[in-house]
């Protein structure tokens, strides 16, 4: 057992511990009972605000009120020199610690440890359920009191590989209709936490079976049972779930999938982008239902423009769920560009066009190329022979390797000429300057010019040609 003083010693000295009853609770106790070092320090006590303020003054630390729930005051004390070091202090609910624990969501989170004695208080058999890998509600109104706990159940299931106990699952299911009462910010916070796990696809599939995803993302409903062309063996929705699964599989095994380039890919696609990329995979074909048509000349189903249409539909989702601008822009690009990324392997794209696309996407190109690989892996219809899929995947991987080998350096090289240079040649401020710079950049990318003087000379020739023809 981890010694309590090693956990709280930085924040609570003997004098402070003697002032009131302190209890470690929540995830801190769950980690300790699981034999792991606690990731966070969660404490409950009386007069939490006053205690937190006193600790912050004593330790010259920052005092931060947390807005978790209005009826559950919680305060964070943060080390000013190390913001990753903090303690969360919440107001004890009820007259006793047992009463406080009885109001917590699941039994795995309903244990406590008295700080002064180290005594474990476990009235709801938290330790037993952790060992048996079970998620069990602490009380019958668990989900109706806070429907967000529906998503928390799947998050804990995904993080700790736990099974939701039958009675808990029944109560959870009967409360799903209450999810719209939860703010979109809280909903997406939990969705992101699920996506941060390495088994998020399994959690999403389980949530889908219960109709939870239909409530959060109603735009997916038309995707279900929507047939596709001969390159796909699944309907649009099942294909999307499969693409998410394959995306997660790649992200979980970057070094296996990309070999020596795995570390470089990992540096570009951080934890946040992995979450967003998996959500992008789930929604990448959301534009297919509204663009589905039948080409009688070619005798096949088509989805022309589904990438751009899907990106537009996603913007409505982002607005409704109040996604941040950065998150919205990333997912929008993934959906809007996944066909362009695939075309780099399918079609003979000119070098200049390829560089133009990479300059637009920059490092995000790697994420959308991974999405395209997962998309190909998930398309196993009668017209998609395994050798064709394998060839496309190898081509897409080669494009990723090229990005690190030479493309990134090429597109990152500064322009050989600036707007000021163009103005000095007699061109007034305006769109014409941008047009000239783009033409010169194209020549630079083709390797036709390599020096500033050559760029200036080319600019003079472009201006001369323009003047002669206007």
Give 362-387 pLDDT, tens digit per residue: 999 999 999 999 999 999 888 888 99
Query: In degrees, to the nearest 5, what angle opens at C-alpha 48 toward C-alphas 42 and 49?
Result: 120
Give the contacts of 374 (CB within 8 A, at least 6 positions apart): 243, 244, 246, 247, 249, 250, 281
Q: Which residues contact 318 (CB under 8 A, 6 or more apart)?
A: 327, 328, 331, 332
Residue 230: predicted pLDDT: 77
Nearest to 207 by CA among 264, 161, 151: 151
| Domains delineated in the chain | 1-131 (3.30.460.10), 133-212 (1.10.110.30), 217-412 (1.10.3210), 419-468 (no CATH)
| Angstrom distance (rounded) from CA 229 to CA 308 | 19
The CA–CA distances, whole Å, from 375 to 195, 240, 294 equal 18, 8, 22
Q: What is the CB neighbour count within 10 angstroms for residue 147?
A: 21
Distances, alpha carbon 391 to alpha carbons 242, 324, 340, 345, 353, in Å = 20, 37, 17, 9, 22
Q: What is the pLDDT along the chain (470 residues), one digit of tens a residue?
A: 568 888 999 999 988 998 899 999 999 999 999 988 899 999 999 999 999 999 999 999 999 999 766 567 999 999 999 999 999 999 999 999 999 999 999 999 999 999 999 999 999 999 999 999 999 999 999 999 999 999 999 999 999 999 999 999 999 999 999 999 999 999 999 999 999 999 999 999 999 999 999 999 999 999 999 888 877 888 999 999 999 999 999 999 999 999 999 999 999 999 999 999 999 999 999 999 999 998 888 888 889 999 999 999 999 999 999 999 999 999 999 999 999 999 999 888 888 899 999 999 999 999 999 999 999 999 988 888 899 999 999 999 999 999 999 999 999 999 999 999 999 998 889 899 999 999 999 999 888 999 999 999 999 999 988 888 87
> Which bin fits 145, alpha (ψ -120 to 50), beta or left (φ > 0)?
alpha
pLDDT tens digits for range 213-243: 999 999 999 999 988 887 788 899 999 999 9
Half-sphere exposure of 59 toward its Cβ, with a 13 Å CA cutoff?
26
CA distance 208 to 344: 33
Token output for 87: 């303690």
CB under 8 Å to 234, separation ≥6 — which residues? 228, 242, 378
Supply 289's token pair.
């239902």
Calculate the CA dihedral of residues 234, 235, 241, 245 and round it to 10 degrees: 20
Query: Residue 436 burial by CB count (10 A; 0-12/13-18/19+): exposed, middle or buried?
Result: buried
Number of H helices, E strands in the chain: 26, 11
Q: Which pLDDT score, from 0 to 100, does residue 102 have?
A: 97
Give residue 301's pLDDT.
86
**Cα dist from 103 to 32, 107, 110, 144, whole Å:** 21, 10, 8, 12
Extended beta strands in 79-219, E state: 86-91, 112-114, 120-121, 134-135, 163-164
Q: In the prediction, which pLDDT does 69 show?
A: 65
Contacts of 222 (CB under 8 A, 6+ apart): 289, 290
**Model pLDDT for residues 55-75, shown as the tens digit of each residue:** 999 999 999 999 766 567 999
The tokens of 322 are what? 């109040």
> Which DSSP symbol is given to 415?
P
CB 359, CB 337: distance < 8 Å: no
Q: What is the pLDDT of residue 348?
A: 83
Burial grade of 453 (CB within 10 A; 0-12, 13-18, 19 or more): exposed
d(CA 311, CA 371): 15
Q: Using CA of residue 198, residue 201, residue 206, residue 207, what is the dihedral sign? A: positive
Backbone angle region of 263, left / alpha / beta, with phi > 0 → left and psi within -120 to 50 → alpha: alpha
Q: What is d(CA 272, CA 196) in angstroms, rounded to the nearest whole number?
A: 8
């Amino acid at each position: 057992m981890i010694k309590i003083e090693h956990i709280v010693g930085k924040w609570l000295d003997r004098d402070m511990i003697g002032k009131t009853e302190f209890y470690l609770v929540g995830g801190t106790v769950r980690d300790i009972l699981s034999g792991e070092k606690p990731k966070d320090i969660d404490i409950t006590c009386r007069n939490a605000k006053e205690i937190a303020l006193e600790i912050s003054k004593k330790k010259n630390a920052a005092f931060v009120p947390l807005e978790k729930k209005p009826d559950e005051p919680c305060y964070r004390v943060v080390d000013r020199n190390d913001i990753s070091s903090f303690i969360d202090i919440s107001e004890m609910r009820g007259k006793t610690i047992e009463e406080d624990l009885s109001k917590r969501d699941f039994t795995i989170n309903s244990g406590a440890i008295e700080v002064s004695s180290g005594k474990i208080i476990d009235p709801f058999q938290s330790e037993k359920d952790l060992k048996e890998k079970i998620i069990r509600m602490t009380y019958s109104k668990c989900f109706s009191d806070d429907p967000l706990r529906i998503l928390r159940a799947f998050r804990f299931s995904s993080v700790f590989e736990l099974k939701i106990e039958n009675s808990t699952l029944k109560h959870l299911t009967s409360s799903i209709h209450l999810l719209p009462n939860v703010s979109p910010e809280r909903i997406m916070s939990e969705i992101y936490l699920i996506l941060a796990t390495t088994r998020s696809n399994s959690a999403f599939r389980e949530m889908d079976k219960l109709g939870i995803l239909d409530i959060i993302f109603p735009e997916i409903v038309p995707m279900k049972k929507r047939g596709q062309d001969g390159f796909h063996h699944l309907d649009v929705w099942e294909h999307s779930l499969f693409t998410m699964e394959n995306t997660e599989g790649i992200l979980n095994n970057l070094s296996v999938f990309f070999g020596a380039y795995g570390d470089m890919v990992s540096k570009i696609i951080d934890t946040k982008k992995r979450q967003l990329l998996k959500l992008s995979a789930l929604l990448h074909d959301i534009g297919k239902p509204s663009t589905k048509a039948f080409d009688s000349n070619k005798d096949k189903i088509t989805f022309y423009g589904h990438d751009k249409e899907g990106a537009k539909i996603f913007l409505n989702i982002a607005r409704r769920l109040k996604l941040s601008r950065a998150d919205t822009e990333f997912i929008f690009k993934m959906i809007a560009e996944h066909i362009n990324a695939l075309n780099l392997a399918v079609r003979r794209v000119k070098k200049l066009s390829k560089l133009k696309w990479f300059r637009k996407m920059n490092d995000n190109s790697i994420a959308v190329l991974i999405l395209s690989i997962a998309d190909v892996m998930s398309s196993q219809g009668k017209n998609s022979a395994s050798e064709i899929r394998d060839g496309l995947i190898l081509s897409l991987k080669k494009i990723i390797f090229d990005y690190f080998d030479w493309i990134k350096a090429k597109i990152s090289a500064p322009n050989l000429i600036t707007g000021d240079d163009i103005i000095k040649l007699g061109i007034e401020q305006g769109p014409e300057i941008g047009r000239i710079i783009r033409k010169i950049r194209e020549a630079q990318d083709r390797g036709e010019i390599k020096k500033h003087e050559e760029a200036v000379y080319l600019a003079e020739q472009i201006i001369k040609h323009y003047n002669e023809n206007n």
